[in-house]
Structures are given as structure tokens and as C-alpha cells.
Amino acid sequence: MSELPTQTHHRVCHLCEAMCGLVIQTQDNTVVDIRGDQDDPLSRGHVCPKAVALKDIHEDPDRLRKPMKRIRTVAGEYRHVEIDWPEALDLAADALATTIERHGVDAVGAYFGNPSVHNYGMLTHQRNLFRHIRTRNRFSATSVDQLPHHLVSLWCFGHMLLNPIPDVDRTHYFLMLGANPLASNGSIWTVPDVRKRLKDLKARGGKLVVVDPRRTETAELASEHLFIRPGTDAAFLLAIIHVLFRNDRVNPGVLADFTDGLETVEQAVADLTPEWASPLTGINADDIVRVAHELADAEAGICYGRMGVSTQAFGALCQWAIQVINVATGHLDKPGGSLFTLPAMDQVVNTNPGGFGRFASRGRGLPEFNYELPAVTMVDEITTPGDGQIRLMFTGAGNPVLSTPNGRALDDALETLEFMISVDPALNETTRHADVILPPTSPLEHDHYDIAFHNLAIRNTARYNPAVFDKPEGALHDWEIFSALGERVAARLNLEPMASVPPDRLVDAALRGGPYGDDSEWQLSIDRLKAHPSGIDLGPLNPSCPDRLQTPDKRIRLAIPEVLEDIERFRRDNAETSDSYRLIGRRHVRDNNSWMHNHHRLMKGKSRCHLLMHPDDMAKEGWQTGMTVAVHGRVGSIEAELQGSDEMMPGVISLPHGYGHARGGTVGEIANQHAGVSCNDVTDEQFIDALSGNAAVNGVPVTLSACS
Ligand SMILES: Nc1nc2c(c(=O)[nH]1)N[C@H]1C(S)=C(S)[C@@H](COP(=O)(O)OP(=O)(O)OC[C@H]3O[C@@H](n4cnc5c(=O)[nH]c(N)nc54)[C@H](O)[C@@H]3O)O[C@H]1N2
Ligand SMILES: Nc1nc2c(c(=O)[nH]1)N[C@H]1C(S)=C(S)[C@@H](COP(=O)(O)OP(=O)(O)OC[C@H]3O[C@@H](n4cnc5c(=O)[nH]c(N)nc54)[C@H](O)[C@@H]3O)O[C@H]1N2
Ligand code: SF4
Ligand SMILES: [Mo]
């Protein structure tokens, strides 16, 4: 055993939405132990296998520590070489300013990926650069993910971040669609230790019903699992609403005083019977009626849906129907139902409510949301000539070549750009196209306050932790990169630069001015949180309506014309049955989208990138486990190893996303050894939720063939 002194650090894990508290032991700048923080009021000591990867991320020899510039060798090939920070920042800022001078701001495209929401400095300081570049060509992972949630919250509750959060610890009945929290650890629902919480629900006599085309880990644990044909959840949900009205189960309680539109909804679902929904969904009409009654009759109940019902062709319709059900049953804004949070840094008050359709994309006319265009049209905006064409692409904490539909087309399109800049610690499938890569410090080298996910948590808590390690000399945090670029671009364009205030100061001001700040008994500030490194519990979620509503009249709006019209699109699309296989996604607790495949500890064991198929379908095709099968979509084909599994609904196949490494020009030895294939080489940028513009990466029609 080493004689070196051990230091103990408290840290919140930022890798997924669960915000688990960690206790990290270090010796001489090395992590020697990571475990759950028993004193964290939210996570209560829970961690998943990814927590220890914080050490692996920090120590990863393939993580970029210096900026990289892409050069062309004499042999005509591209390669990345290290350069100094001043040169890299100048190069990037110069390219941005020159592009704007020549072609206007819309010639700059930007894509921000998922970790940008988990990195608080990135959230606070993106605007230090982008306030000078108010381009229409902004994209993010939101539109391959939770866009329908935001849109429905904006429409019904008046703010895109007013998302009702399932109060799992006090509920009696939980109807869950298209979510697998046992693998994902919860989403739009910060719920560390979810397995225990769901088990507790069952132990106190409550019921968990999971609706999913695959019998997932969560479905295994549930009281009941219903298979559903991908993309048909809207029928199931609309039929539930029909039953609630027909069988006198609509009982909004106090919500009735400030809810508009229930009568219109009743008319809209008048003929959407369980008998109509049953052949579409594959769920018995009797089961639909029973589930509707059980939920309505429960003392406290939740209807919740996540990726499987957002990233499908009727994502917004599904998310709307879910909120209608929560209101109609009176379960919204009630303990044990779904409630709004009141976080210490109140994003609902601090940010604009969002907006929809104020402009449309040049190429396909797809609507903006919150000044972002749908990611499914990024390639069109890069490749379609004319005013507003993207000439320079900026990516931050994203890997859209692997994470957006028809990733191969984007892979090609990025090569046609005049310039590309990436703020990212990885040289991966996306950043390999960048002329300059600007790598930030590692997570353990900067402090953290979770600005985004306290907003979505099952309890109101607050937690701030300083960096575990000092910043290496010369390195820059994400926020410092954005500030430095912003200053340089402003200087070039003769604009006023934005003050660069460190994120902890901004959060301190927000905490002190927030609901638990200077005017409250809590007196929250960064200093106070430093004195409580495991976090402070601010209590369970409380009813807050109608005050908390952000609609101008403080009323819930349910009769949304765009959504009601979308019911007709659903009917049209489902008028004919098709016999093609439907491809859906799959998450595993050791994966995290595309970016944690370079760590041996998470990758050891059997490959996870295989195609699951029901044994009856395999028998029909004459196929066996272990053989290679080609999956063909409109935009391309991939080959994957087949594995029979009665977890799958017949007619449905499943493949995880985020694989497809080893493309050349990337750095990531272990990831490239576990390359797998990218299911987004088959998913289709034209297969979308036409109402919201969100990608439909689930329920994609595909054909299959055996590989000889
Ligand atoms: N078929 C299919 N496609 C999907 C999904 C699916 O279920 N099926 N899921 C979708 C969803 S929900 C999401 S959120 C997206 C995710 O899609 P993206 O956000 O585009 O992809 P990630 O794999 O999360 O890429 C993360 C990148 O951020 C970098 N990174 C990590 N931490 C930091 C940091 O602190 N600072 C900076 N600057 N960079 C950092 C990593 O190196 C990596 O390059 O994928 C979507 N795509
Ligand atoms: N380990 C791990 N954790 C993660 C991530 C990760 O990649 N790995 N990613 C993080 C991110 S960015 C996100 S957004 C969250 C996502 O969190 P979740 O939404 O909980 O995660 P998924 O596993 O994608 O669950 C989607 C479920 O929908 C089902 N499904 C597919 N199509 C349909 C359909 O048409 N109808 C219904 N009812 N179900 C359908 C799938 O079978 C799957 O079980 O996870 C986060 N946490
Ligand atoms: S569940 Fe999420 S937050 Fe918790 S340890 Fe795992 S990755 Fe980190
Ligand atoms: Mo996501």
C-alpha cells in the first residue's frame, strides 16, 4: 500500500441525468476510489457502473489535451497535429469572423450535443460566443431526443421547461411508456436509485405497468408489461382518453378551476375507441379499458413516456396525450402524481419560455423550436446552395455523425464545408472532420453545479462541488474556450465583447436571487453549498398550480389545434398495415450514447452491438443466432450479428445506437476495437415527427436479408 496521503472529495456525477453523489479518494493526483455518497439526499449512495469511468475519462490517453489542427499531408491525406492554444483560438475566431463577413451569420452552423447540458460552464458561456452569431442554423441533440416534451410543455403549461416529474416515491400506479430507466437511470426524470424506488412502489402495493415493444429490464421488474407495435402509442393513449370520458372517469379535481379545452378533447377522441386502437397497437381492447380504469381510480397515479414515445413519428401527439391523461385523471400537480419542480436555480424564471415555428428551415421548411432547427435537416442546410447555406460548422460536445439519422450523409456533408470547429475532448467520427479541435479540461478538473437536471428531479435538492484536480497548466475549461472565442470574434467584428464571469459566480447570483436564496430561511449560495458537499435537501415536490403555470392567464391549455389536427395524420398513416420489420433502439447501463466506448472497464465482456429478433421471426426466415444479417433502410444498410430473444415483440428488431467507430482518422483505441455499426446509418432523416420536426429513430421501417 502506498504511503501517500489520501484526499477525500465530494462530487456529483454528471454523466447521465441521475446526478448521483460520489465520494472520490485521490492520492497524488490519481483517483484511487470512487463510491456512492451515502449522505446525498437524492441519490442516497447509489451509483451505476459508469461512475468509475470518471477516472477512466480523466486518465484516457486518447483524450485530447492540446488543440488539434487538421493538415493535409503530401500524400493528400488528412491528419490532426497538436498546436498551441493562442494559435488554435486565433484560427477558429478568424474563420468564424471571415465567414460572417463574407456570407452573413447564417453561414455559421452550430450543433450542440448532449454533454453540453451536463457541463455547467458550457450552458452559461455558449452565449459569450453565440450572442455575436445569431445564426438560424442552430441544431442540437434536443431534436433527436426530448423536443416533443418541451413543445407540449410550452403549449399546455406556457414554458418549455415546465415538465411534470413523476413522483415515484409517493405514487400508487405508474403507467410507463417507451422508457427503460433501469438502463438509462431515468430521463426528463432525475431519479437516482430508480430500481429500488420502483421496487418500493410494488412493495407498498402499488403497480407499475410498462408499455414497450421489448420486454426490457424495467418491464421485467414491472407488475405488468404490454407489448406495443412501435409508433402506435398515440392510439393507445387516445383510446385511454376516450375510455376516461366514456366511462365517467374524468375527474380533474382542483385542476378543473384552471384548465381549458377538455370538452374539445372529448370531441376529438369520440370515435377513438379501444376497439379502434387494439389492432393498431397489438394491445387487447379489454386491457386498454382496464389500464384506463386502474390509472383513473388510483389514489395517486402517473402516466409518463420517454424516448420510445418522443423519438417516433408521433412524438408530440404522444407527449400531449400523456399530459391530457394526467390532467383528466386529476393526477397532475398532486403528491404521488406528476409535479413541477421548484429548483434552487429556477430555470423556468431565468430562461425564456421557448417558441415554435417563428421561422422555418430553408430547404425543407421545418419549424424552429427555441431558435433551433431540427437536426434531421442539418445536411440539407450544409449542402443546399444559396443564401443562408452553412459554410462553417461548429460542434460542441456532440457526435452527430453517429447520433443523428442518416449519419453517413452528414459524414459526407461535413467534408464539403469550408471550415469546421469542434469543442470536444475526443477525435471521433464527427470531430475528425474539424479543421480545429479545442479540447476542454476533464470533468474532474472543473467544478460543477447541475443547472439543468435539478429542474427535472424527484426532490428539490441543491449541490455544488469544486474541482477534484487542479487545472493543468495552459488548459482551458469549456467556458473559457467560449469566452476566448467570443472576445476574439467580437474584436474582429467590432462588437462589444461579453463580460466573462466564471460560472460559479453566475450560479451564486442565481441561487441568492432564487426561491431558496437571500430572501428565504435557506440562504443558499455557493459558499453555503460548499459547506454541505453532499448537497442540501429542499424537500419533496409540492403542488404549485396555478401559480407556477407560465401561460399568460395561468391556465392549462389542452385544446392545441396543431395537435388535434395531428390525430388525422395518425389515422392516415395507419390506414394501411405494413409487414416490414420495425427497428427500435436499445440502451445498456454501460453505454452512454456514442462517447464512452474507449474505457476498458465499460467495454469488457460480450459485444453489445447485436441485433435482437424474436425466435418466431427467425424461424420464419430460417435464421439462427450468431449469423450476420443486413438491415436495409431507405438511406443505407448495415450488418450486425443476430441474436434471438423472446424479449422482442414479433416484427420488431432492436439495435443500440452510438456504435460505428473505426472509421479512420479517429483516435480511440478501445472504441475502435469495439467498433460495432451505427444504427443511424439506417435511420432516415425523412422519417420524422412531422408536427415537431423531431427525429423518429424508433419504429423505422426496414427490410432484412441474410449475409452469405
Ligand atoms: N438511433 C438512435 N439515435 C439516437 C438516440 C437513440 O436512442 N437512437 N438517442 C439520441 C439522444 S437521446 C441523444 S441525447 C443523442 C446524443 O447525441 P450527441 O450529443 O450528438 O452525441 P454523444 O454521443 O452524446 O456525444 C458526446 C460528445 O461530447 C463530448 N464530450 C463529453 N463531455 C464533454 C464536455 O464536458 N465538454 C465537451 N466540450 N465535450 C464533451 C464527447 O467527447 C463526444 O464527442 O443521440 C441521439 N441519437
Ligand atoms: N446507460 C445509459 N444511460 C443513458 C443513456 C445511454 O446512452 N446509456 N443516454 C441518456 C440519454 S441522452 C437519454 S435521452 C436517456 C433516455 O432514457 P430512456 O428513454 O429511459 O431510455 P431508452 O432505453 O432509450 O428507452 C426507450 C424505450 O423505448 C422503447 N421503444 C422503442 N420504440 C417504442 C415505441 O414505439 N413505443 C414504446 N412504447 N416504446 C418504444 C425501447 O424498447 C426502450 O425500452 O438515457 C440517458 N441515460
Ligand atoms: S446513474 Fe448516472 S449519475 Fe449515477 S453514477 Fe451512473 S452515470 Fe453517474
Ligand atoms: Mo438524450
CATH code (residue 631): 2.40.40.20
pLDDT attached to residue 4: 86
Q: Whose CA is closest to atom 17 on ligand 1?
A: 403
pLDDT digits (tens, 9 = 90+) for 643-684: 999 999 999 999 999 999 999 999 999 999 999 999 999 999
Instruction: Tell me, in angstroms, the distance from the centre of ligand 4 to residue 139's CA.
Output: 14
Residue among 16, 55, 180 whose CB has most ligand 3 atoms within 8 A, to mutate: 16
CA 54 to chain centre: 20
Instruction: Tell me, in angstroms, the distance from the centre of ligand 1 to residue 141's CA.
Output: 7
Q: Which ligand is nearest to the CA of 184?
A: 2
Helices 233-246 and 315-328 pack at an angle, to 10 degrees, of 20
* 523 lies in the same domain as 552: no
By the 8 A CB rule, do 218 and 181 touch? yes
By the 8 A CB rule, do 594 and 402 touch? yes
CATH code where residue 556 lies: 3.40.228.10
How far, CA to CA in Å, does 580 sit from each of 115, 118, 550, 613, 702? Answer: 35, 38, 44, 13, 6
Mean pLDDT rounded to a whole number for the chain = 97
Average pLDDT over residues 682-694: 98
Percent of the chain with pLDDT over 90: 98
Q: Which ligand is nearest to the CA of 594?
A: 1
- The identity of residue 592, as a single letter, is N
Does 309 have pLDDT greater than 60? Answer: yes
* 192 lies in the same domain as 126: no
Q: Work out the pLDDT band at 578, boundaries 50, 70, 90.
A: confident
Count of CB atoms situated within 10 Å of the CB of 493: 15
- pTM score, whole prediction: 0.98
Ordered alpha helix ranges (H), 104-208: 115-118, 120-130, 147-157, 181-184, 194-203
Q: Which residue has the cell 426532490?
A: 459
Percent of the chain with pLDDT over 70: 100
Cα distance between residue 472 and residue 558, in whole Å: 53
- Residue 1 is assigned to a structural domain of this protein: no
Q: Work out the pLDDT band at 495, boundaries 50, 70, 90.
A: very high
**SS (HEC) of 367-392:** EEECCECCHHHHHHHHHCCCCCCCCE
Decide: 438 in ligand 1 pocket, CB within 6 A.
no
Count of CB atoms situated within 10 Å of the CB of 263: 11
* 77 lies in the same domain as 178: no
- Residue 471 is assigned to a structural domain of this protein: no
* 330 lies in the same domain as 356: no
Average pLDDT over residues 146-152: 98
DSSP assigned state of 106? G
By the 8 A CB rule, do 694 and 311 touch? yes
Average pLDDT over residues 322-330: 98
Cα distance between residue 342 and residue 459, in whole Å: 9
* 406 lies in the same domain as 434: yes
How far, CA to CA in Å, does 184 sit from each of 187, 189, 584, 691? Answer: 7, 10, 15, 26
Does 538 have pLDDT greater than 60? Answer: yes
Decide: 43 in ligand 1 pocket, CB within 6 A.
no
Q: What total of structural domains would you count in the chain?
A: 4
pLDDT attached to residue 396: 98
- Residue 463 is assigned to a structural domain of this protein: no
* 123 lies in the same domain as 254: no
- Cα Dmax for the chain: 77
Decide: 596 in ligand 3 pocket, CB within 6 A.
no
Decide: 16 in ligand 2 pocket, CB within 6 A.
yes
pLDDT attached to residue 2: 56
Q: Which ligand is nearest to the CA of 115?
A: 1
* Residues with Cβ–ion distance below 5 A, ligand 4: 145
- Residue 472 is assigned to a structural domain of this protein: no
* 432 lies in the same domain as 507: yes
Dihedral in degrees, nearest 10, Cα atoms 179, 255, 287, 584? -20
Decide: 113 in ligand 2 pocket, CB within 6 A.
no
**SS (HEC) of 381-427:** HHHCCCCCCCCEEEEECCCHHHHCCCHHHHHHHHHCCCEEEEECCCC
By the 8 A CB rule, do 609 and 677 touch? yes
- Residue 168 is assigned to a structural domain of this protein: yes
Decide: 216 in ligand 2 pocket, CB within 6 A.
yes
* 293 lies in the same domain as 192: yes
Burial class (CB in 10 A: 0-12, 13-18, 19+), 315: buried
Query: Grid coordinates standing for 700?
Result: 423505422
pLDDT attached to residue 421: 99
Q: Work out the pLDDT band at 579, boundaries 50, 70, 90.
A: confident
* 124 lies in the same domain as 261: no
By the 8 A CB rule, do 426 and 595 touch? yes
* 48 lies in the same domain as 74: no
Burial class (CB in 10 A: 0-12, 13-18, 19+), 557: middle
Decide: 100 in ligand 2 pocket, CB within 6 A.
no
The string of DSSP codes covering 318-332 is HHHHHHHHHHHTT-B
- Residue 268 is assigned to a structural domain of this protein: yes
Cα distance between residue 79 and residue 90, in whole Å: 20
pLDDT attached to residue 664: 93
Count of CB atoms situated within 10 Å of the CB of 253: 13
Q: Which residue has the cell 452510438?
A: 658
Cα distance between residue 130 and residue 243, in whole Å: 49
* 374 lies in the same domain as 509: yes
pLDDT digits (tens, 9 = 90+) for 8-51: 999 999 999 999 999 999 999 899 999 999 999 999 999 999 99
* 676 lies in the same domain as 699: yes
By the 8 A CB rule, do 168 and 191 touch? yes
Cα distance between residue 546 and residue 254, in whole Å: 10
Query: Grid coordinates standing for 33?
Result: 476510489
pLDDT attached to residue 3: 76
CATH code where residue 53 lies: 3.30.200.210
- Residue 188 is assigned to a structural domain of this protein: yes
Cα distance between residue 399 and residue 467, in whole Å: 26
DSSP assigned state of 216? -
CA 121 to chain centre: 18
- The identity of residue 286, as a single letter, is D
Mean pLDDT lowest for which of 378-382, 468-472, 604-608? 604-608
pLDDT digits (tens, 9 = 90+) for 364-395: 999 999 999 999 999 999 999 999 999 999 99
How far, CA to CA in Å, does 642 sit from each of 613, 624, 645, 654, 655? Answer: 7, 7, 10, 10, 10
Cis upstream peptide for 61 (omega within 30°): no
Q: Give residues with Cβ within 8 angstroms of 382, minimum separation 6.
A: 109, 389, 390, 393, 410, 413, 414, 416, 417
- The identity of residue 586, as a single letter, is R
Instruction: Tell me, in angstroms, the distance from the centre of ligand 2 to residue 153's CA.
Output: 20
Q: Which domain range does residue 75 map to? A: 68-145+347-457+477-534
pLDDT attached to residue 16: 98
Please report how many Cα atoms fall inside a 13 Å half-sphere around the Cα of residue 126, on the Cβ side. 18
Q: Which ligand is nearest to the CA of 231?
A: 2
Ordered alpha helix ranges (H), 145-232: 147-157, 181-184, 194-203, 217-221
Query: Which residue has better confidence, 248 or 579?
Result: 248
Specify the DSSP element, H or E, that contains 349: helix 347-350
pLDDT attached to residue 555: 98
CATH code where residue 86 lies: 3.40.50.740
Cα distance between residue 437 and residue 69, in whole Å: 7
Ordered alpha helix ranges (H), 204-271: 217-221, 233-246, 262-268
- Residue 150 is assigned to a structural domain of this protein: no
Cα distance between residue 404 and residue 393, in whole Å: 15
pLDDT attached to residue 577: 79
By the 8 A CB rule, do 71 and 78 touch? yes
Count of CB atoms situated within 10 Å of the CB of 85: 16
pLDDT attached to residue 1: 52
Q: Whose CA is closest to atom 4 on ligand 3?
A: 20
Q: Whose CA is closest to atom 26 on ligand 1?
A: 398
